[in-house]
Amino acid sequence: MIIPDSLNGALALSFIDFFLSIVMISGIGFILALFPLLNKLGKIDEDKLRQGQH
Amino acid sequence: MLEQFISFLGALEEQTGLSHFWWGNLVMIAIGATMIYLAVSKRYEPLLLVGIGFSCIISNVPGSDLILPGGLFNYAYQGVALLIIPPLIFFGVGAMTDFGPMIANPKLVVLGAAAHLGIFVALIGAKALGFTINEAGAIGIIGGADGPMAIFVTMKLAPHLLPQVSVAAYSYMALMPLIQPPVMKLLTSREERLIVMKQNRQVSRLERIAFPILIGVLVNLFFPPVAPLITMLMLGNLFKEVLVVDRLAKTAANGLMNVIIIILTIAIGSTMAADKFLTFKTVEIVVLGLIAFLFGTGSGVIGAKIMNLFLKDKINPLLGSAGIASVPIAARVAHLVALRENKENYLIYHAMGPNLAGVFGTAISGGIMLALLGVK
């Protein structure tokens, strides 16, 4: 166990976890903000996809 | 002859569960019956509460072999204990979820983490009450408002708390329309609740297909402890979005999902034996769970208000409350609270963004927690 089983441990765990969660999910948000760039690769024909059901 | 008859009846009683019946069983049977009543008459999470309630009743009938090793309910529980059922639920959820609102408005994604302060308030509270840090982590994750994730993390950290944690998590999720609005109104002004959001952009098919693949890779790379859940969520979503395997997507979202819900509810109810459930710890966990939901809702709203300090186009702070997860209940609550102020302010699509991000927020918090506690 990296975090000690004490109240101080719980405080440390909470602070680190909350801070890292914000950072990580902001990272996902940043990547999603770049998603429109994918559209420069081209467009998928949805009708064609639907016709190819297996 | 009479003595023989009486001793025969006594021996027969010993063979039945009657001699082991105590008031705790009666209380738990009443709780199970109440769950079924709420599901049937009030429509509170009927898909979950009917199965949990019935399984709870049967599990508290002394002498029932169903919950013992080799019993059918015990096999259902093994599906949870071996962490097979929660990822399969996420598989079905992925196949029925449109992640478009989250992709379309990435700045709202951060609300999926902001609304999880409740996890840590409950964690610290549980530790202060004398729970071990692993137990406190399992109790805290109730505030993630995500049933399968709560079960998954609890099975890793403190499996003996599964009945209390799962019942608290699912009960509060069902009660969110009652729990959240007072907090949301307390922390926002009428002007803030009246903010109308700009329409989101269209999300292309290519983006929709790339999303589950990319998230699947990222989660396995950074959060291996919770990767099974998010990976299956993304696989289900990929089936939905590629448009070429509708059969599989429909099976995951309907038939398979229904089977898994049946197994899950039986498993949860079967853990609610009176001797384990009727303790003071259960009361503490239920109270801490409520605190987690209240703080999570509040921190989400405050997170949105902090964002507004930096944004040119202000967002409706009610959206922050949807970041707590519990898809789509929390998004619907945000929508309804806004609708009460302005009948033409439809927030539902916008609220789905932070709401879905909340699922990832809970997974990330749970993953970091497991890593910091050294649990794989």
Q: Where are the alpha helices (DSSP H) in B97-175?
A: 100-104, 111-114, 117-128, 133-140, 147-157, 162-174
B 84-123 residues with CB below 8 A of A? 102-103, 106-107, 109-110, 112-114, 116-117, 119-120, 123
Inter-chain touch A33–B210, beta carbons under 8 Å: no
Facing residue for A49 by CB, picked from B112, B114, B243: B243
pLDDT band at B16 (very low <50, low <70, confident <90, very high): confident
pLDDT score of A1: 62
Q: Which residues in B lie closer than 8 A to residue A11 (C-beta atoms)?
A: 124
Looking at the predicted structure, is the pLDDT value of residue B211 above 70? yes
B257-272 confidence digits (pLDDT tens): 999 999 999 999 999 9
Looking at the predicted structure, is the pLDDT value of residue A23 above 90? yes
Inter-chain touch A46–B243, beta carbons under 8 Å: yes
Q: Per-residue DSSP letters for B189-231?
A: -HHHHTPPPPPPPPPPHHHHHHHHHHHHHHHHHH-GGGHHHHH
A 1-54 residues with CB below 8 A of B? 1-7, 9-11, 13-18, 20-22, 24-26, 28-33, 35-36, 38-39, 41-44, 46, 49-50, 52-54
Among B221, B364, B373, B375, the residue to mutate for chain A (most A Cβ within 10 A)? B364
pLDDT score of B209: 97
Place of tokens 């007072």: B182
Looking at the predicted structure, is the pLDDT value of residue B69 above 80? yes
Please give the average per-residue pLDDT across B272-276, as a whole number: 91
Tell me if B46 sits within 8 A of B5, measured CB to CB. no
B79-109 confidence digits (pLDDT tens): 999 999 999 999 999 999 999 999 999 999 9
B287-323 confidence digits (pLDDT tens): 999 999 999 999 999 999 999 999 999 999 999 999 9
CB-defined contacts A:B, below 8 A: 142
Facing residue for A53 by CB, picked from B107, B244, B372: B244
Domain range summary for chain A, segments of one domain joined by +? 7-51
Please give the average per-residue pLDDT across B351-360, as a whole number: 96
A42-53 confidence digits (pLDDT tens): 888 888 888 866
Inter-chain touch B106–A30, beta carbons under 8 Å: yes
Q: Which residues in B lie closer than 8 A to residue A37 (C-beta atoms)?
A: none
B173-201 confidence digits (pLDDT tens): 888 989 999 999 999 999 999 999 999 99
The average confidence (pLDDT) of chain B is 93
Domain range summary for chain B, segments of one domain joined by +? 83-372
Angle at B104 between CA B103 and CA B109, to 5 degrees: 60
Looking at the predicted structure, is the pLDDT value of residue B326 above 90? no
Q: Per the structure block, which two tokens stand in for B141?
A: 């994750």
Instruction: Kindly report the pTM of this predicted structure.
Output: 0.90
pLDDT score of B12: 72
Tell me if B162 sits within 8 A of B80, measured CB to CB. yes
pLDDT score of A53: 66
Distance of residue B101 Cα from the nearest chain A Cα, in angstroms: 11
Looking at the predicted structure, is the pLDDT value of residue B19 above 80? no
Q: Which residues in A lie closer than 8 A to residue B357 (C-beta atoms)?
A: 25, 28-29
B360 burial (CB, 10 Å; 0-12 / 13-18 / 19+) is buried
Distance of residue B131 Cα from the nearest chain A Cα, in angstroms: 9
Inter-chain touch B109–A35, beta carbons under 8 Å: no
Instruction: Report percent pLDDT > 90 for chain B.
Output: 84
